Amino acid sequence: MPPASMVLPHQPAGYLETPVAESFIHKLQLSVSKGLPHAAPAPASRTDEHELVKSVFQVLQGFDTPLLYWDKNVPAFCEKPGTYVSHLSRASLGSVLKPFLFAATCLKRVELFVGKVRSCDHRTPTLSAFASAVDSWLMRLREAALKEEEMSFVSVDRTVTLLALTDSMSSLCSGAEHLHQVVHGAVPDGFWDSGANMASSEVAVHVVNHLYKKLNEVCLVEDGEGEPYHMLLVIFAGSLLPYLQCLDSWLYDGILDDPYEELR
C-alpha cells in the first residue's frame, strides 16, 4: 500500500511564512503587532551593532553620525528615531546607549564652554587659563576614545559589542561626567550677560574657589587618589598660572605685571 501523502494545512491568503533566519525580536514584534506593517520598525531604520559601536566612538570624539547626532535644542546627543538592531529590543538598546550618549553630551558641553570662553570679549587671564586646562583634559579623554577605537577595529575578524564597550569605556565615561561637573558652576552667575561689568579679580577668585571646593569634595570621597582628583589637580594648577606669572615678575623683576588687576 503506497504511503499516504502529507497534507499541509491551508494558509490564509496574504499570510507570509516566517523566514528561518528571522530573529526572535522580530518574531515577537510580529506576534504583538498581528503582522501589521505599521506596527513593526521601518526596515530603513534597522542597523547592525557594528555600526552603532562605530557611532559611539565618533560621538565620544565630538562628531555627528547618521545614527547618533547632536540636538542643539536639548542640547544633547540623541539616537536617530526608530533606530533598532535585530537582537535587541528598543528599550534594551536605549538602556545600553544611554551612558555613552550621556558621556558624549558631557564632553560636547565642555567643548562648547571652552569655545564660549575663548570667543568672549571680557575673558580674564585666570578664566582663560582654566578653559585651556579644561580643554587639555578634554582632548586627553577624546584621544583615549580614539585609541580605544583603533584597538577595537585593529582586526577585521574581531567583533566588538556594545556590552563589551560598556566595560572597556566605563573609566572614560566616568571621566567625562567628572569633567563636566568641574565646568558647571565655574563661572559666576550672570557673567555671560554682564561679565564686562565684573571685576577681573571677582571672576578669578570665583574660578579658584570653585576648583578648591571641588578638590575638597573629591578628596573626602577618594582620599586624594583616583583619576578625578588627578584631573582636578591638573586643572587647578593650570588655572593658577596667571597668578604665578604675576608673582614671578614681582619677585624677580620688582614689577607687578597685572594689567587685568586680578591680584587687587
Which of the four pLDDT bands, split at 50, 70 and 90, describes residue 67? Answer: very high
User: Is pLDDT above 60 for 74?
Assistant: yes
| Domain boundaries defined on the chain | 45-184+196-253
Mean pLDDT of the chain: 84
| pLDDT bracket for residue 89 (50, 70, 90) | confident
CB 137 within 8 A of CB 112: no
More confident residue, 142 or 25: 142
Q: pLDDT tens, 220-246?
A: 776 667 899 999 999 999 999 999 988
How much of the chain exceeds pLDDT 70, in percent? Answer: 80
pLDDT, position 30: 58
Task: Summarize the confidence of residues 199-220 as an average pLDDT.
Answer: 92
Is 229 or 1 the better-scoring residue by pLDDT? 229
Whole-angstrom Cα distance, residue 124 to residue 137?
20
Give burial (CB, 10 Å; 0-12/13-18/19+) of 156: exposed
What is the structure's pLDDT at 109? 98
For the residues 118-132, what does the mean pLDDT come to? 91
> Which grid cell sits at 12?
490564509
**How many residues comprise the chain?**
264
More confident residue, 123 or 173: 173
d(CA 126, CA 132): 10
| Residues 201, 264 contacting (CB under 8 angstroms) | yes
Residue 93 has pLDDT above 60, yes or no: yes
Q: Give this prediction's pTM.
A: 0.81
The percentage of residues in the chain with a pLDDT greater than 90, rounded to a whole number, is 53
Q: What pLDDT sits at residue 165?
A: 93
Backbone angles phi, psi at 255, to 5 degrees: -125, 130
Q: How far apart are CA 38 and CA 65, in angstroms?
A: 26
Q: What is the DSSP string of 18-32?
A: PPTT--HHHHHHHHH
Q: Are 214 and 182 in contact (CB under 8 A)?
A: yes
How confident is the model over 22-38, as a mean pLDDT? 55
Determine the pLDDT at residue 182.
97
- pLDDT of 159 reads 78
